């Protein structure tokens, strides 16, 4: 019996791989973004090496774009020079969006792929049935030179999600619940596989949230079995044939069950994604609300926010910043009139990028300020000053809180 992850790594390594084995797996896709391009380039130079498969490399400018200062401008310049030097075909410059959104949108993630990237939230792509992990610049240089990389095959925890979602409860609430149950180290160097009846009715925008935030429970990667929802999303996008793998019954090292019917809107309070309370029990005034990031800037998030904000105004004294996670999402939100609703409510719309999620720019918090965000981390100083405070929630909870000027359960105004 094997898990999907074991089967993917068996194919990629050419050996019968089981949890705990050390394997060298061929890499199908490499991703580098603007903060790491220069470091990867330096590591390649120091190694006197060059990419074996530049046609498999995808470069994305997303963290510090448009450039906020000379340092970030130089980082983007170095990545452009890197792409030019090695003939990188898939180079997504300023404005395309966040790497974890751009790669699946542009067909660079196919079921069964082994994908590595210079960002910790690479497991996001596991929603498409891939084995996708984050690595550092030195490892990336080695993988580019060799065409493969070593991995210890992780055990897989099955997370069964059953029931039906109550009103104003979303994937963000599910993953916050899971992290609160197992802690930030509950899945250390393990894979989380999401399954259950709720997946049959969960669209891709929501599935990506589950795999994205699995990292906050310590997971090495995350995966969702490929089904009709996956294939419908991939139709017309894929650049190569899918090779989906499925876990055998009884192959998982552990199993966690969550009845989503019992959930309510949740909030992770400072300074940990595992520090979770019902939104109805959190009493905190806010200075800023942020809807965006690779976790919460997809079309579904903007739609939900617009549904709540239609005909309402953001509370005076509160800054609502909305950053679509990609150019495609931004354009579709414009076509549907979503952006109009958001702007009329008082929101400021930013260009597709990571924005304030990592405290880079486009909404950095000052000393003592409080924000509620659809992003994935609320560590001390994550979005700005070390004495600022960040709460994590769904787009519905963030939008409702922006209207009220304090954190609220979105059901009170929806």
The span from the CA of 328 to the CA of 262, in Å, is 35
The answer to whether residue 157 scores a pLDDT higher than 90 is yes
Cα separation values, 182 from 272, 363, 392, Å: 13, 31, 17
The closest of 40, 2, 37 to 18, measured between CA atoms, is 2
* Look-up of token digits 């046609």: 55
The answer to whether residue 414 scores a pLDDT higher than 90 is no
The span from the CA of 69 to the CA of 77, in Å, is 12
Residue 356's pLDDT is what? Answer: 94
Beta strands per DSSP E along 155-271: 156-162, 191-195, 221-223, 254-259, 266-268
Question: What SS3 state is found at 278?
Answer: strand
Residue 48's pLDDT is what? Answer: 86
The span from the CA of 160 to the CA of 252, in Å, is 12
The CATH number assigned to the domain with range 266-412 reads 3.30.499.10
Query: What's the mean pLDDT when you consider all of the chain?
Result: 97
Residue 194's pLDDT is what? Answer: 99
Cα separation values, 226 from 179, 314, 361, Å: 23, 40, 36
Share of the chain above pLDDT 90, in %: 98
Task: Report residue 145 as tokens.
Answer: 């030179």
Residue 261's pLDDT is what? Answer: 98
Which ranges in the chain are annotated with CATH 3.30.499.10? 4-257, 266-412
Beta strands per DSSP E along 2-79: 22-26, 29-33, 57-60
Question: What SS3 state is found at 282?
Answer: coil
pLDDT band of residue 137 (cuts 50, 70, 90) is very high
What are the tens digits of pLDDT across the range 273-295? Answer: 999 999 999 989 999 999 999 99
Residue 360's pLDDT is what? Answer: 85
The answer to whether residue 115 scores a pLDDT higher than 90 is yes
What are the backbone dihedrals phi and psi of residue 392, each rounded to the nearest 5 degrees, phi first?
Answer: -110, 140
The answer to whether residue 248 scores a pLDDT higher than 80 is yes
Model confidence pTM above 0.75: yes
CATH topology of domain 4-257: Aconitase; domain 3 (3.30.499)
The span from the CA of 47 to the CA of 117, in Å, is 19
Residue count (the chain):
414
């Amino acid at each position: 019996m094997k898990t999907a992850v074991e089967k993917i790594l068996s194919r990629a390594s050419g050996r019968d791989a089981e949890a705990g084995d050390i394997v060298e797996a061929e890499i199908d896709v490499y991703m580098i973004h603007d903060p790491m391009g220069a470091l990867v380039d330096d590591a390649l130079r120091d190694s006197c090496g060059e990419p074996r498969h530049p046609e498999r490399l995808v470069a994305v400018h997303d963290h510090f774009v448009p450039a906020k200062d000379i340092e970030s401008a130089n980082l983007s310049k170095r990545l452009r020079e890197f792409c030019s030097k090695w003939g990188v075909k898939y180079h997504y410059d300023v404005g395309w969006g966040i790497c974890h959104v751009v790669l699946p949108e542009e067909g660079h993630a196919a079921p069964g792929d082994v994908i590595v990237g210079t960002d910790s939230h690479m497991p996001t792509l596991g929603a498409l049935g891939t084995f996708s992990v984050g690595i550092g610049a030195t490892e990336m240089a080695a993988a580019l030179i060799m065409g493969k990389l070593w991995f210890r095959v992780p055990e897989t925890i099955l997370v069964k999600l059953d029931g039906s979602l109550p009103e104003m409860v979303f994937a963000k609430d599910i993953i916050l619940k899971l992290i609160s149950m197992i802690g930030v180290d509950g899945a250390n160097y393990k894979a989380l596989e999401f399954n259950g009846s709720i997946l049959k009715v969960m669209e891709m925008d929501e599935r990506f949230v589950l795999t994205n935030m699995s990292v906050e429970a310590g997971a090495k990667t995350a995966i969702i079995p490929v089904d009709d929802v996956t294939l419908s999303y991939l139709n017309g996008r894929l650049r190569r044939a899918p090779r989906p793998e499925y876990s055998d019954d009884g192959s998982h090292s552990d199993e966690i069950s969550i009845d989503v019917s019992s959930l309510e809107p949740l909030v992770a309070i400072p300074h940990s994604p595992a520090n979770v309370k019902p939104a109805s029990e959190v009493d905190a005034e806010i200075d800023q609300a942020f809807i965006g990031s690779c976790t919460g800037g997809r079309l579904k998030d903007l739609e939900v926010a617009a549904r709540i904000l239609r005909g309402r105004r953001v509370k005076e004294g509160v800054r609502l910043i909305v950053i679509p996670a990609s150019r495609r999402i931004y354009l579709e939100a414009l076509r549907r009139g979503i952006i109009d609703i958001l702007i009329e409510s008082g929101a400021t719309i930013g260009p597709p990028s990571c924005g304030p999620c990592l405290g880079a720019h486009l909404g950095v918090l000052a000393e003592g300020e409080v924000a509620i965000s659809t992003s994935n981390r609320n560590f001390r100083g994550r979005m700005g000053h070390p004495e600022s405070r960040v709460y994590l929630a769904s787009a519905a909870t963030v939008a409702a809180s922006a209207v009220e000027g304090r954190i609220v359960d979105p059901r009170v105004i929806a």
